[in-house]
Amino acid sequence: MGLFDRFKTKPGAKRAVVIGLDGTPCTLARRFIQDGTMPRFAELVSRGVLLQMDTSIPDISSVAWTSFMTGANPGRHGIYGFLDLQPNSYKIYFPNSKHIRSETLWAAVGKAGRRSVVINVPSTYPAQPLNGALIAGFVAVDLNKATYPRDLVPELTRRGYRIDVDARKVQESHDALMADILETLERRIETLLWLYDTQDWDLFAGVITETDRLQHFFMDAMGGEHHKYHSAFKDFYGRVDRFIGEIASRLSGETMILMSDHGFTTIERQVYLNTWLVDHGFLRLKDNAKSVEDIAPGSLAFALDPGRIYLNVKGKFPDGIVDKADAAKILAEIKQGLSEIAVNGASVAQRIYDRDELFSGACVESAPDLCVQPIYGYDLKGAVNKTQLMDREVFTGMHTQDDATCFITTTAGEIRDGKPHITDIAPTVLAAMGLDQPTGMDGRSLIHR
């Protein structure tokens, strides 16, 4: 054995690769495999198992990726959305990596003395120290605070690494946004492959978020070939496919998982739950209210993006008026009312969950009282400055909960029964690496042991 070899990864130690495609629906992946848009992914899938996966509720990236990285439900990890309210207040804050209450997959890997390289996973900002390297994803702001160890920053800067697409470009034009999406994807792929090749790792987890940005603004492009951006959309996925091929060609015995954190579908309408709550006497707002921070006294309930409903409980919120004893009755009224929001005779709410149906753990007190899961096409929003119940905005795509992607390089016989859930990924990765699942993860490995 050479002098330095003892510091390198042990031969025979099982390694794992997780590639994330933010927001890629399993149905779309299957379509692109069949129509030849993604030939390299098709080849890879012939060597493994492609499954449709459920994600967290709410089905937005901050909650979903945190559920991925902790293997836990929001009741444990504490992240329920991109924004939340500070304790005993209506003041909004933006949860970041410091607010995650559960241990991450890479912490568990690190405890076993193994090294992780984690790139662009949303909700990892600011970068927390780990045994390995991490570049935080959305909503990372400052590359210095997004990168651990910081000595990677100069090279990332030299390579022109970009933390994110600038979605504000859409105000300029859709062409400008598309150009920015493609350019950011190139930089992302280049950095992912550079770190894949040059870092020492046992777990490599890299996420592409440009898929999500594309779909927020161009999801309608898949509706028909006549659409201006139809071929651009497919070309984009062709580029993603070549990246998947690059990773596939590098595999040498690692278990590879390719996953998304939610699906996507086209939007018919945005639905503003706070408008409904106001119209039905549950919510009062100050004049010219901009957010729920402008809630007025006398309110029974309010909504936060996407479908989170909170009772304005006495003692929990400064102007809370709901007695605990009345909570069940008011919730039942809201559930009944919301389920009656209908379009063409069909309820917009596919299902309305009580808190206890979805969440359990130390953070359950800060959970929403209800979570409304919409049918495809009706995106639930927490905006308060809307006069109509429904409207169309610039966005043409919305998230779906039941159509995330999960591909594993294993045989069908090794996959356990039951639809995968995003919290199953971390236990699956640990099992593939030969490591024990720590307590505190709700998911279970998809691979039989």
Partner 1 sequence: MSRNGFTLWFTGLSGAGKTTLARLVEKELKQRGHKVEVLDGDIIRTNLSKGLGFSKEDRDTNIRRIGFVCDLLARNGVVAIAAAISPYREIRDEVRGGSSAPFVEAYVECPLEVLVERDVKGLYKKALAGEIKNFTGVDDPYEAPGSPEVLVHSAAESPDASAMQIIARLVEMELVELELAELAQQTGDEEEDEEEVRARLKALGYV
Instruction: Give me the half-sphere count of Cα atoms (radius 13 Å) on the Cβ side of residue 427.
Output: 22
In the complex with partner 1, the residue whose CB is nearer, 305 or 424, is 305
| Separation of alpha carbons 151 and 61, rounded Å | 28
Q: How many CB atoms lie within 10 A of CB 327?
A: 15
In the complex with partner 1, the residue whose CB is nearer, 126 or 320, is 126
| Separation of alpha carbons 369 and 360, rounded Å | 13
Sign of CA dihedral 307, 283, 297, 287: positive
In the complex with partner 1, the residue whose CB is nearer, 187 or 444, is 187
Contacts of 169 (CB under 8 A, 6+ apart): 176, 177, 179, 180
Nearest distance in Å: CB 62, partner 1 = 9
For binding to partner 1 (CB under 8 A), which residues are involved? 3-4, 6-7, 60, 81-83, 94, 107, 110-114, 129-131, 138-139, 141-142, 145, 149-151, 164, 166-168, 170, 213, 216, 270, 291, 305, 381, 393-395
| Separation of alpha carbons 412 and 415, rounded Å | 5
102 secondary structure, DSSP code: S
Nearest distance in Å: CB 63, partner 1 = 12
Nearest distance in Å: CB 167, partner 1 = 4
In the complex with partner 1, the residue whose CB is nearer, 270 or 445, is 270
In the complex with partner 1, the residue whose CB is nearer, 99 or 444, is 99
For helices 210-218 and 230-250, what crossing angle results, to 10°? 160
| Separation of alpha carbons 188 and 120, rounded Å | 9
Nearest distance in Å: CB 434, partner 1 = 15
Nearest distance in Å: CB 99, partner 1 = 12
Q: What is the CA radius of gyration of the chain?
A: 22
SS3 content of the chain, % helix, strand, coil (to 5): 35, 20, 40
Nearest distance in Å: CB 226, partner 1 = 26
| Contact between 422 and 405 (Cβ < 8 Å) | no
In the complex with partner 1, the residue whose CB is nearer, 128 or 347, is 128
In the complex with partner 1, the residue whose CB is nearer, 73 or 215, is 215
In the complex with partner 1, the residue whose CB is nearer, 241 or 379, is 379
Nearest distance in Å: CB 68, partner 1 = 19
In the complex with partner 1, the residue whose CB is nearer, 187 or 242, is 187
Tokens representing residue 53 in the block:
């996966």
| Separation of alpha carbons 320 and 82, rounded Å | 23
What are φ and ψ of residue 45, in 5° steps? -65, -30
Q: How many CB atoms lie within 10 A of CB 272?
A: 24
Query: Residues in the chain, how many?
Result: 449
| Separation of alpha carbons 228 and 163, rounded Å | 28
Nearest distance in Å: CB 289, partner 1 = 14
| Contact between 221 and 236 (Cβ < 8 Å) | no
Q: Which of 246, 204, 243 is nearest to 433 (CA)?
A: 204
In the complex with partner 1, the residue whose CB is nearer, 91 or 329, is 91
Q: Tell me which residue has tokens 């444990």.
A: 76
Cα distance between the two ends of the chain = 33
